[in-house]
Structure 1
Amino acid sequence: MEMKLELVVVPVSDVDRAKEFYVQAGFVLDHDHTVSDEVRFVQLTPPGSGCSIAIGKGLSGMTPGSVEGLQMVVADADEAHADLSGRGIDVSPVDDQPWGRFVYFADPDGNRWALQQITTR
């Protein structure tokens, strides 16, 4: 039996501000649908990813900014750093570790992301 992780909820305090941030970071806006006064569903997908994120209103009981450890794999950490930095995203310097090279950033609420260039498998 296959199981595919295809959607992760990321809690945010201001949906429009978060949507603007993720689009600026290069995520593709897939959906922005207001279901009711209590529910708004916004789905965004990182370029080339099979997994999307959902931000919105009424999607989760998690505290905005509480998600840590979201990680995406990139081919080149230096290129990822230059791309995000060029888009106006505040990113860390490239962090070289024995198991990979990393670039870190956070959304406006503080949800934390890592981009990993895998150097050996």
Structure 2
Amino acid sequence: MPVTDVDRAKAFYQRLGFSADHDHQVRDGLRFVQLTPPGSACSIMIGEGVTGKTPGTQEIQVVVADAHAARDQLLAAGIEAGEVEVHPWGHFVHFRDPDGNRWALQAVEYRPHG
């Protein structure tokens, strides 16, 4: 995940309940920070020298149990979030991190593999 300020981004994601699993400064210009959303087996990585992407260009979509509850959690953490959008393919709520990277949280009624 491309970010301009690693510490600011780390604090933002921790405010959302992400666990800071790993934070290692290898050398000047190379730092790895691994953050895992609550209840997830998947993590994101931010840091210095870890991606050539431009901050604010990343888009991530994850599935949540309840889009309305997810939005309430975002708002309670002081994060701006859009209204819940209802579509036949799921309910969505969108937000951005401090660098403008976009997140879509999708709640679906049925997933073929659980």
Q: Which runs of 5+ in 1 are unaligned?
A: 1-9
1:49 partnered with 2:40: yes
Alignment partners' CA distance in 1, 2:89 and 2:10? 32
In the alignment of these two chains, the number of paired residues is: 111
What residue number does 2:97 align with?
107
Alignment partners' CA distance in 2, 1:60 and 1:81? 29
What residue number does 2:83 align with?
93
AA matched with 1:35: V
Identity of aligned residues (%): 60
What root-mean-square deviation, in Å, do the aligned CA atoms of Structure 1 and Structure 2 show? 0.9
TM-score (norm 1): 0.88
Question: Displacement, 1:118?
Answer: 0.3
Q: Which runs of 5+ in 2 are unaligned?
A: none
AA matched with 2:102: R
Please list every run of at least 4 consecutive aligned residues from structure 1 whose deviation after the TM superposition is greater than 6 angstroms.
none
1:18 partnered with 2:4: no
Alignment partners' CA distance in 2, 1:90 and 1:26? 15
What residue number does 1:5 align with?
none
